[in-house]
Chain A
Amino acid sequence: MQLLGGFASIASLETLLLMLVGTFGGLIIGALPGLSAFTALAIMLPFTFGMNPISGLCFLVSVYVGGSSGGLISAVLLGIPGTPSSIATCFDGYPMAKQGKSKTALSAAIIASFVGGIFGAIVLSFIGPYIAQFALKLSSYDYFGIILFALTTVSSLAGKNMVKGLIACLLGVCLACVGTDGLSSVYRYTFGITKLSNGFSLVPVLIGLFAVSQIMATARDKASQKSLDFSGTNQNEGAKFTFRDYFKRIKMIIPVSLMGLLIGVLPGLGGNISNLMAYSYAKKTSKHPETFGKGEVDGIIASETANNATVGGAMIILLTLGIPGDNATSIILAGFQMNDIAPGPLLFKTQGELVYAILAGFVVANILFFVMEYFGLSIFTKMLSIPSMLLLPIVIVCCFVGSYCANNNTLDIFIMVVFGIIGYILKEHEFPLAPMVVGFILAPMLELYLRRSLMKTDGQWLPIISSPIAAICIFATIFTIGFSIYKAIKKPAATAQ
């Protein structure tokens, strides 16, 4: 019922038009190889400054949905995933395109994306309020434990080396300490610069680390860039895949959707992993696993259903707990912050209209992308011939605008450039950037809940562990970190022998 109210909130020409533009823009940018949903969000973020919160956030959600599903076009036609969450789509999509079944592959991928996205949106609408209610009952001990565990999972799963993931996360924590201490109003690491008294803003840090570092990496790789090869693929070949064909595979679709959703809920995992896990599940349970990798439509369906269901899962955890799972959800969080709204369990109570408008926007964005992609496929395939490296300078200009507009402060532009260079250096040394951003975002909350917990217990640490949720999370964190460090030190020694 409240969801219907959400639909009513977004039923204005302005919001719907913005969502249309957002989905379209997200689709185009997501389709270009090398550019992801995050890049689309970084370009679009500055435009939300002049919008009201409902329109602005629905616009960002549309960009996110469009960007996440746009990747399938280049995955099928070029064999290059537009976004990392479409990697598994390439495995069978590209062989199908080469066999002259590109229309079948693309329509199957689009239907799978749509159903996965809608499934995520519906589950989010029904489960979200219950998770928020449950989250309201959690104590500061539990929050401390949950955030600590979220930071550990992001750090352990974002890169190949967990030690580097944890270092990146702690660098984010250290950066978050700059500014005024939330509990005692004391300045920390501001070195007398008054503009730093509120700490580093999220927008310049986020877009610097991801977008500016990306243009530097593109410049570095310029020599090795090849022109895109469309030879052998034509988007108008093969029979169109229908919903009936899709739902014939319901036995595979249900577990794959749930898998995608659950992976989305866990911070640090996201679409990058869910599409690969869903693909391997579909292959293992298939009656004809030998056809996978050679042009099996089930492989495309599993990958695209799961990665779009993940978007719903990631949104659940962002809206109910205020924990972003990856860089794309971090930028949506920045969108909330720009409107002085903090996502978390209270959001469902205090900003119910906004929450349900976002949920309705999420459903509408999925319908919009489906209609656009299913019926206007030829337009998007033509866009693939735009060299993405030419779009990157425009991304940088939009990032300059975004950084400046966040606080009308030119120092933020400088901070963005500096963080871009830091991000590039870290990436060069294989430090994952997502833990750094998540560490930066969650550190103030982690510190606040820890200090509040200890205020309650008069400095005693034991009562914190007496809460079962906190205890499970803290022990899981200790176990994960301990085990990975042991493995990290042991493994190289084993290979050396």
Chain B
Amino acid sequence: MKEKRGDIFSGIVIGVLAVVYYVYSFQIQQTTSDVLGSRFFPQLAAILLLLLSAILIIQALRKKTEPEEENTKIENTKKINLPLILTTVALFVYYILVLNIGFTITSILYLLFECWVLMPDNIKKNKKMLILVVLICVAVPVFLNTVFYNIFHIQLPVGALFR
């Protein structure tokens, strides 16, 4: 049932996106250098996408409904997946900090944080392993920056603050 609801929901979202994509295709300057022009292909893709989203919804609606739906719904809404939320937020924070304080420092902070989030609890209690993880978290960004700067002559982002 969860799958059925998910399919109907994704069908609707994709259908709406297809309509928006089609509408915005009229902003593309129409060219006459060839028969189809620059609008045809995006418009065709949007129409096909709309058709397929409709088929997905029809397909989902014809699926057999199972009775235990309500219980699973309650269970699902109760659980908030903290590691997932932290990982997603960390990705955006990593991006923003890279722009401001540069690649090396941000990457060390990101690695320490993300390793902590993903680390199984038994490793968190293992001091030797923890020291090793911290060393790796510091060494990897420093190594990458050194290799890229000195060998490949590519400057990784230094950050607005250090420019």
The residues of A with any CB-CB pair to B shorter than 8 Å are 46-47, 49-50, 161, 163-164, 166-167, 170-171, 173-174, 177, 181, 183-184, 186-189, 212, 215-216, 218-220, 222-223, 225, 227, 387, 389-390, 392-394, 396-398, 400-401, 404-405, 408, 410, 413-414, 417, 420-421, 428-431, 443, 447, 450-451, 454-455, 458-459, 485, 488-489, 492-493, 495-496
Contact = CB atoms under 8 A, between A and B. Distances in A.
A163 B55 contact: yes
A97 B96 CA distance: 48
A181 B10 contact: no
B28 interface: yes
Interface of B: 3, 6-7, 10, 14, 21, 24-25, 28-29, 31, 33-38, 41-42, 45-46, 48-49, 52-53, 55-56, 58-60, 62-64, 81, 83-84, 86-88, 91-92, 94-95, 98-99, 103, 107, 110-111, 114-115, 117-120, 122-123, 133, 136-137, 140-141, 144, 147-148, 151-154, 156-157
B53 A493 contact: no
Contacts of A401: 103, 144, 148, 156
B118 A219 contact: yes
A420 B91 contact: yes
B3 to A, nearest CB: 8
B70 to A, nearest CB: 20
Contact of A390 (B53, B118, B151): B118
Contacts of B52: 163, 166-167, 170
23 contacts: A167-B14, A167-B49, A167-B52, A173-B45, A181-B31, A184-B34, A216-B87, A219-B117, A223-B83, A387-B123, A390-B115, A390-B118, A397-B144, A404-B156, A417-B95, A421-B88, A429-B10, A430-B6, A454-B34, A454-B35, A485-B55, A489-B59, A489-B62
A32 to B, nearest CB: 14
Contacts of A414: 95
Contacts of A492: 59-60, 62-64
Nearest to B155: A408
Contacts of B21: 174, 189
Contacts of B48: 166, 170
B90 to A, nearest CB: 9
A389 B122 CA distance: 14
Name, among B31, B84, B91, B119, the residue most crowded by chain A CB atoms within 10 Å (CB to CB). Answer: B91
Contacts of B37: 184
A291 to B, nearest CB: 37
A410 B98 contact: yes
Contact of B38 (A161, A170, A181, A455): A181
A429 B6 contact: yes
Name, among A222, A431, A447, A454, the residue most crowded by chain B CB atoms within 10 Å (CB to CB). Answer: A222
Name the prevailing secondary structure of the B interface residues: helix
Contact of A405 (B38, B45, B53, B154): B154
Contacts of B148: 46, 49-50, 401, 405
B98 A177 contact: no
A488 B64 contact: no
A459 B35 CA distance: 6
Contact of A387 (B42, B120, B136): B120
Nearest to A183: B34
A426 to B, nearest CB: 8
B83 A220 contact: yes
A177 B45 contact: yes
Contact of A50 (B49, B114, B140, B153): B153
Contacts of B38: 181, 183-184, 186, 188
Contacts of A166: 48, 52
Nearest to A417: B91
Contacts of A174: 21, 42, 45-46, 49
Contacts of A405: 148, 154, 156
A397 B28 contact: no
A124 to B, nearest CB: 30
B154 A50 contact: yes
Contacts of B140: 394, 397
A370 to B, nearest CB: 29
Contacts of A455: 34-35
Contacts of A429: 6-7, 10
Given A396-B91, A400-B94, A186 B49 contact: no
